[in-house]
Amino acid sequence: MSNLIGIINYGIAGNIHSIKKAIVKAGGTVKVINKKEDMTGVDKIVIPGVGSFKDAMTELENEKLIEPLKEAMKSKPVLGICLGMQILSSLGFEYGITNGLDIIKAEVKPMIVNGKVPHVGFNTIEVVKSNPILKGLEKEEFYFMHSYEVVNYTDILSLTDYLGHKFVSSIQKDNIYGVQFHPEKSRKAGIKLFENFINL
């Protein structure tokens, strides 16, 4: 079983400290990826993310990580977390229109609900497609903090209800996974998700 997990560190957008701790707790070994050379030897990749879609893509471009990341995605399991999941999409609509990594045919749009945004706090996921990353986590609660959502119709693993609005809370396309929530802030359920990722 391979468990050297590379975490993409892309400036302000890549908030990695708590993710590193959670992966180690789940039994993985962590290597921080600051430049393309750091991709060498990692078995799997985590794309963290806080902040805006535009900032995230700008940071990845500035660090010259977009092409090496896309190349690695062809063969390695990848997990995008929160904004890291959103930038897997084709387009983001935060502070203008920004091209994403275009791995998932999706758009990232403002969450429109009859109530408070951002959506913050623990909420339940509803698994709609059996998959290894969420195995044993059906109906578990995870920690969310977001104002934007991924709009996609073909790669959905789970949905979550917020104030009567169902949004996509996890996705998968081949070896690429994304979760809208923060497993590193989701206690036992989050550690279990990282264990599932390590065991892919």
pLDDT digits (tens, 9 = 90+) for 158-177: 999 999 999 999 999 999 99
Number of domains within the chain = 1
**97: helix, coil or strand?**
coil
Look up residue 182 and give its DSSP letter: B
Pairing of strands 141-146, 119-124: antiparallel
Q: What per-residue confidence (pLDDT) applies to 187? A: 96
Q: What per-residue confidence (pLDDT) applies to 2? A: 61
Segment among 14-18, 65-69, 101-105 with least mean pLDDT: 14-18
**158: helix, coil or strand?**
strand
- Taking the C-alpha atoms of residue 68 and residue 18, their distance in angstroms, rounded to an integer, is 24
- pLDDT band for position 178 (cuts 50, 70, 90): very high
CATH number for the domain that contains residue 12: 3.40.50.880
- pTM metric for this prediction: 0.96
To the nearest whole number, what is the mean pLDDT of the chain? 94
Mean pLDDT of 58-69: 94
Q: What per-residue confidence (pLDDT) applies to 64? A: 93
pLDDT in tens, 81-140: 999 999 999 999 999 999 999 999 999 999 999 999 999 999 999 999 999 999 999 989
Q: List active site positions.
A: 82, 182, 184
Place of tokens 């986590």: 137
- Taking the C-alpha atoms of residue 80 and residue 84, their distance in angstroms, rounded to an integer, is 4
Strand partners, 162: 165
Better-scored residue on pLDDT, 43 or 49: 43
Length of the chain: 200
Q: What per-residue confidence (pLDDT) applies to 51? A: 87
pLDDT exceeds 70 at position 14: no
Domain that holds residue 126: 4-198
